[in-house]
Amino acid sequence: MRLFQVPIAHRGLHDGQSPENSPSAFQKAIDAGYNIETDVHLLKDGKVVCFHDFTLQRVLQGKQGKIEDLTYADLCGNDYLLPNGEHIPLFEDLIALVDGKVNILCELKSINAIKFDLEKKVYELIKDKPWIKVQAFNPISMIWFARNAPEVCRGQLATDAPNKLLKILFMFTGPFKLLKKSRPDFFAYNIECLPNPKVTEACKKYGMKLLSWTVDTEEKVATAHKANVDNIIFEAIRPEGYKK
């Protein structure tokens, strides 16, 4: 599967001229032959947009508000342009741009464990496109795909719990605890927390491939090799390839 064979450009192949999750960053990744990782949110009008943060401030250089409070009409105007003047792209725009030339790894920024509106919208966009895969930190999101769209390749994003509160939470509803229900095809684990025997054991137990994020130095590439990672989600560096 191409997802596990060709390095994955984190939020596109972004640089000083092309911001993260921008059309030009996506095009650069395609031109270089890399797979693309992107993040998606649901806009106020139900459209799916490529954007990482829940708030606008960091990416839009101080702009206040939440991405989920905007509409497609807002994005078409000039009030919410990316730093290089490009418009924030819809997920469907990225799909049309890629058109199967590389794989897309779509991270669902979903926190809703009741309605699953984002999951449903994304599935409608990708259900006939096997070159698009999904992943999420929220294991409930991946359980939804396991139950409603098991044919879609899906992955569980995870990291070690950074504080005591999350350690307690992870004991009951953490990514390891829910693997039996979500049955992901791959684990996408924080490179800063590898190698990790618990991750290796989980991958073996559930037959998962192992991806790692975000690999941005040659030292982290070496760590990925040491941890037997199947493929890397990278930025800052330009890997010619990645082999275990």
- Find all residues with CB under 8 Å of 231, minimum gap 6, and list them: 3, 4, 5, 6, 7, 8, 209, 211, 242
Give the per-residue pLDDT at 159: 95
- Reported as a single tens digit per residue, the pLDDT across 16-33 is 999 999 999 999 999 999
Q: What's the rounded mean pLDDT across residues 100-124?
A: 93
- Reported as a single tens digit per residue, the pLDDT across 153-209 is 999 999 998 887 878 777 777 889 999 999 999 999 999 999 999 999 999 999 999
Give the per-residue pLDDT at 29: 98
Residue 8 structure tokens: 């994955």
Higher local confidence (pLDDT), 210 or 161 = 210
What is each CA distance from 84 to 17, 61, 72, in whole angstroms? Answer: 7, 11, 19
Residue 198 structure tokens: 């618990």
- Reported as a single tens digit per residue, the pLDDT across 32-68 is 999 999 999 999 999 999 999 999 999 999 999 999 9
E strands within 43-185?
A: 48-50, 104-108, 132-136, 154-158
How far apart CA 17 and CA 243 sit, in angstroms, is 29
Give the per-residue pLDDT at 176: 93
How far apart CA 169 and CA 163 sit, in angstroms, is 10
Give the per-residue pLDDT at 21: 98
How far apart CA 96 and CA 149 sit, in angstroms, is 22
3-state secondary structure of 47: coil
Give the per-residue pLDDT at 15: 97
How far apart CA 67 and CA 124 sit, in angstroms, is 21
How far apart CA 115 and CA 120 sit, in angstroms, is 9
Q: What's the rounded mean pLDDT across residues 207-234?
A: 98
Average pLDDT value for the chain: 95
Task: Using CB atoms within 10 Å of the CB of residue 41, give its burial: 0 to 12 exposed, 13 to 18 middle, 19+ buried.
Answer: buried
pTM assigned to the model: 0.96
Domain spans, the chain: 10-136, 155-232+236-240
Q: Is-contact 154 135, C-beta < 8 A?
A: yes
Give the per-residue pLDDT at 243: 80
Percentage with pLDDT > 90 across the chain? 89
Q: Which helix (H) or strand (E) holds 123?
A: helix 117-126
Residue 218 structure tokens: 């040659």
DSSP 86: P
Among residues 106, 175, 111, 95, which one has the least CA distance to residue 134? 106
How far apart CA 163 and CA 168 sit, in angstroms, is 9
Identify the band that residue 238 occupies on the pLDDT scale cut at 50, 70 and 90. Answer: very high
Give the per-residue pLDDT at 47: 97
Q: Name the CATH topology of 10-136.
A: TIM Barrel (3.20.20)
What is each CA distance from 185 to 1, 3, 26, 73, 82, in whole angstroms? Answer: 11, 11, 24, 36, 34
